[in-house]
Amino acid sequence: MKLAFVSSYPPSHCGIGEYTRMLVASLKSLNPGIEAYYVFSDISAKKEPWLDDHYGAIVYPTFVRGSGRGLERIVDMLSEIGGVDVLHIQHDYSLYGYDDTVLRVAEKARDEGLAGKIVVTMHTVHHPYSDEKPAVRFQQKLNTCDAVIVHSHLQEFELRNQGVSPLRIERIPHGTLLNPYLGYPRMKLVESLGLNGERLRGPVIVVSGFLKWDKGLDVLLEALRILKPSRREMTVVVAGEIWDKRVLEYLDGLREVANLVFWEKYLNSDEILQLNALADIILLPYKSVKFYSVSGMLHLSMGSLKPILGTRVPKLVELYQHAPRVTIPPGDPQALARKLKWVVRNYDIIVPYMSFLYSYAVRTQWHRMAQRHLNLYIKLLRKKPRPTAPPRTLMPIE
Residue ranges and CATH numbers for the domains of the chain are: 2-175+365-383 (3.40.50.2000), 186-361 (3.40.50.2000)
Instruction: Give the span between the Cα atoms of 85 and 137, in whole angstroms.
Output: 28
Q: Taking a C-beta distance cutoff of 8 angstroms, is the pair 114, 76 a contact? A: no
Mean pLDDT, rounded, for 74-101: 96
Instruction: Give the span between the Cα atoms of 109 and 83, in whole angstroms.
Output: 8
Q: Is the pLDDT of residue 229 over 90?
A: no
Give the other-Cβ count within 10 Å of 228's Cβ. Answer: 10
Distances (CA, A) of 18 to 187, 226, 275: 27, 37, 17
Instruction: Give the span between the Cα atoms of 310 and 316, in whole angstroms.
Output: 7
- The 10s digit of each residue's pLDDT in 274-295 is 999 999 999 999 998 889 999 9
Q: Please provide the average confidence, as pLDDT, over all residues in the chain.
A: 92
Q: Is the pLDDT of residue 262 over 90?
A: yes
Q: Is the pLDDT of residue 371 over 70?
A: yes
pTM confidence score: 0.92
Q: Is the pLDDT of residue 348 over 60?
A: yes
Q: What is the pLDDT of residue 4?
A: 97
Percent of the chain beyond pLDDT 70?
A: 96
Q: What is the pLDDT of residue 385?
A: 53
Using H for helix, E for strand and C for coil, what is the string for the chain? CEEEEECCCCCCCCHHHHHHHHHHHHHHHHCCCCCEEEEEEECCCCCCCEEECCCCEEEEEEECCCCCCCCCHHHHHHHHCCCEEEEEEEECHHHHCCCCHHHHHHHHHHHCCCEEEEEEEECCECCHHHCCHHHHHHHCCHHHCCEEEECCHHHHHHHHHCCCCCCCEEECCCCECCCCCCCCCHHHHHHHHCCCHHHCCCCEEEEECCECHHHCHHHHHHHHHHHCCCCCCCEEEEEECECCCHHHHHHHHHHHHCEEEEEECCCCHHHHHHHHHHCCEEEECCCCCCCECCCHHHHHHHCCCCCEEEECCHHHHHHHHHCHHHEECCCCHHHHHHHHHHHHHCHHHHHHHCHHHHHHHHHCEHHHHHHHHHHHHHHHHHHCCCCCCCCCCCCCCC
Give the other-Cβ count within 10 Å of 61's Cβ. Answer: 21
Q: What are phi and psi of 100, to 5 degrees?
A: -105, 25
Mean pLDDT, rounded, for 78-104: 96
- The 10s digit of each residue's pLDDT in 126-176 is 999 888 899 999 999 999 999 999 999 999 999 999 999 999 999 999 999
In this structure, of 80-84, 127-131, 160-164, 204-208, the range with the lowest mean pLDDT score is: 127-131
Residues in the chain: 398
Instruction: Name the band, by pLDDT with cuts 50, 70 and 90, for residue 388.
Output: very low
Instruction: Name the band, by pLDDT with cuts 50, 70 and 90, for residue 384.
Output: low
Distances (CA, A) of 269 to 92, 180, 272, 275, 327: 20, 12, 5, 10, 24
Q: Taking a C-beta distance cutoff of 8 angstroms, is the pair 8, 95 a contact? A: yes
Instruction: Name the band, by pLDDT with cuts 50, 70 and 90, for residue 53.
Output: confident
Q: Is the pLDDT of residue 395 over 60?
A: no
Mean pLDDT, rounded, for 192-200: 91
Q: Is the pLDDT of residue 393 over 50?
A: no
Instruction: Name the band, by pLDDT with cuts 50, 70 and 90, for residue 36.
Output: confident
Q: Is the pLDDT of residue 386 over 60?
A: no
Instruction: Name the band, by pLDDT with cuts 50, 70 and 90, for residue 18.
Output: very high
Q: What is the pLDDT of residue 233?
A: 84
